Amino acid sequence: MIANVIRHCFPVAAQAVADRADEINKLNVFPVPDGDTGTNMSLTLKTVVKEVEALPANAPMEAVAKAITHGSLMGARGNSGVITSQILRGMAEGLVDAKGDPVTVTDLAAAWRHGRKVAFQAVRKPVEGTILTVVSDLSERADELAHDRSMSVEEALKELVSEAYESVARTPDLLPVLKENGVVDSGAFGFAVFFEAFVNACLGTDSSVDFRTTVDSSDAKRSVAASVHIELNDDWEGSEYRYCTEFLFHADSSDFDQKAALDFLATMGDCELLVGSNPDYKIHVHTNEPDRVLHHMLGHGQIFEVFIHNMDLEAHDRTAAIAADREAAGAPRKKLGVVAVAAGDGEAEILESLGVDVVVSGGQTMNPSTADILDAVERANAEHVIVLPDNGNIRMAAEAAANACDTCEVAVVPTKTVPQAFAALFVLETDVPLADNVAAMTEAVANVRDGEVTRAVRDSQAADGSPIRSGDVMGIQDGAITVVGSSVDQVTLDLVRRMQTEEEGDTLTILAGDELDDEAFQALCDAIEEAMPDLEVDPHRGGQPLYPVIFSIE
């Protein structure tokens, strides 16, 4: 059912944009160097995710489309966010008419056509070489694929991802300001990132929507990389309009004149957008007089959630960030680098303290894509790179990244948890061959006994066949649910005690998730020390979501 696919894949794709927001920001030079496209797109998508996730489990596509339309309108930020909101609205509305199960290539083409139509209607002066160009190219390509009766939906999606990146690579040829600055259009690139992540999740083979199936768009991505080189550009003398002004507007009357409002906005600046339907609208304009814009619109209704950004200051922030990247890029390439995945800030800090060069944000329900891991490998700036996926669902994406990398030698040590990564890093030696390190780290991982404590999201059963109810606290050992209860503290104690009975260890390394505050975590550690005084407890704040406790015994 298309509604379920969208509900599963949209959050994954939105996270991909959030993870790469800074990278997208640094590309932005159009229409002025306001460097917040990635942030704006991410915030827009985040609001959609919130509305979609609030729907009941069996919500039909009509309800999903309504949530996408409302969420993207309410959350739209910046020029890029507003246009993205209209693309999403158009495609969602187009998919409502796809009554077949599964969706066909013809349905996809119809959705892209409608997305293109709605997006172009929102922009008074469409410009070639932007996100609108990519949407247009994707619509045309989808129409071509729909005429091939032998084309499957899976094949069509892969073709469309490649087309997205190829279209992004062409944007500098269509818009002089992009070619002058050596970049592709940031909004176009951000949308390609979103679409690729959505397709990767859609084609996944696991119900948790991981990245086990990876779209092979490497050639198209290389084309993008070959077309751009982010230049340090600090010679911008200012734009005619300085303030990016945006807000939500609620019309007072049913006969609100949308055209008259747009005409007024055009007299106040440029990049004017007014989208939505009576009485709720999103308004965006670049102007030097945001106060006059707000005062005028107050005469026709109510305004709220006002955001005003000084694009001059944002441009200089972007320049400083790129300069910092340039300085880092000039560092000599090291012999060995390490990339690891972490779900919490505390986990990331510990991994970095143990020698990890780049930490990728991700975990059980937010798996990073192959592209995310490949990007991290490149940022490690090393001749040889070891990747620690730290989750079984991420291993295949890590291996795909290793196979796709052609700039350095990459190996994956198949860690399933962060404590396993700790053990692997303790035996890492930077001056020995890569194969020897991988062998030693893999052996260290095999000797780790770890446990995880989380809550059941559905009814199930434990390893011994006993029932598990939704909301129960579960203790997981070696991938099997061995302890079930109602209290995080008690389940943790029972699981540690069970593992100690099987094989006594000396040290317990325990990570607190974001659910446990410092007081609760200290009380848990005190209870473990009291129950097992011979076991040394080494506590840390992991900050991971969903898992209040993760630990290992050595």
Instruction: Per-residue pLDDT tens, the chain, 554 aa: give them.
Output: 788 889 889 999 999 999 888 878 777 554 333 447 788 888 889 989 999 999 998 898 999 999 998 888 888 777 778 888 899 999 999 998 775 567 889 999 999 999 999 988 887 777 787 889 999 999 999 999 999 888 899 999 999 999 998 888 888 778 766 665 566 778 888 899 999 999 998 887 333 333 323 344 455 555 555 444 444 333 334 457 888 898 999 999 888 998 899 999 999 988 888 888 889 888 988 899 999 999 999 999 999 888 888 877 766 665 666 566 656 656 678 899 999 999 888 999 999 999 999 999 876 556 788 888 988 998 898 999 999 999 888 888 899 889 888 889 999 999 999 999 999 999 999 889 999 999 999 999 998 999 999 998 777 788 788 898 988 999 999 878 999 999 999 999 999 999 999 999 999 999 999 999 999 999 999 999 999 999 999 999 999 988 999 999 98
Q: Among 446, 474, 502, where does a domain finish?
A: 446
Question: What was the pLDDT predicted at 239?
Answer: 56
Q: Among 446, 474, 496, where does a domain finish?
A: 446
Same-domain pairing of 55 and 161:
yes
With respect to residue 325, please indicate whether it lies within any of the assigned structural domains.
Answer: no
Same-domain pairing of 290 and 438:
no
Q: How many domains does the chain have?
A: 4
65-90 burial code (b ≥16 CB/10 A, e <16): bbbbbbbbbbbbbbbbbbbbbbbbbb
Q: How far apart are CA 467 and CA 201, in angstroms?
A: 31
Task: Tell me if residue 332 falls in helix, strand or coil.
Answer: coil
**Bridge-based pairing state of the strands 358-361 and 507-512:** unpaired
With respect to residue 277, please indicate whether it lies within any of the assigned structural domains.
Answer: yes
CATH of the domain at 169: 1.25.40.340
Domain that holds residue 55: 2-227
Same-domain pairing of 401 and 415:
yes
Question: What was the pLDDT predicted at 183?
Answer: 67
Per DSSP, 366 falls in state B
Same-domain pairing of 175 and 305:
no
Same-domain pairing of 441 and 467:
no
Same-domain pairing of 8 and 156:
yes
Question: What was the pLDDT predicted at 414?
Answer: 94
**Around Cβ 15, how many Cβ atoms within 10 Å?**
25
List Cα–Cα distances, 19 to 324, 360, 376, 428, 528, in angstroms.
19, 9, 11, 28, 37
With respect to residue 235, please indicate whether it lies within any of the assigned structural domains.
Answer: no
Phi, psi of 360 (to 5 degrees): -95, 130
Same-domain pairing of 290 and 153:
no
Question: What was the pLDDT predicted at 149?
Answer: 85
With respect to residue 323, please indicate whether it lies within any of the assigned structural domains.
Answer: no
Tokens of 478: 């070696």
Per DSSP, 457 falls in state S
Q: Among 381, 412, 446, where does a domain finish?
A: 446
Same-domain pairing of 59 and 208:
yes
With respect to residue 319, please indicate whether it lies within any of the assigned structural domains.
Answer: no
Question: What was the pLDDT predicted at 182?
Answer: 63
With respect to residue 518, please indicate whether it lies within any of the assigned structural domains.
Answer: yes
Same-domain pairing of 397 and 266:
no
Same-domain pairing of 455 and 441:
no
Same-domain pairing of 381 and 280:
no
Nearest to 415 by CA among 450, 365, 368, 369: 450
With respect to residue 420, please indicate whether it lies within any of the assigned structural domains.
Answer: yes
Same-domain pairing of 252 and 163:
no
With respect to residue 318, please indicate whether it lies within any of the assigned structural domains.
Answer: no
**Around Cβ 109, how many Cβ atoms within 10 Å?**
23
Task: Tell me if residue 70 falls in helix, strand or coil.
Answer: helix
Question: What was the pLDDT predicted at 210?
Answer: 32
Tokens of 10: 């949209």
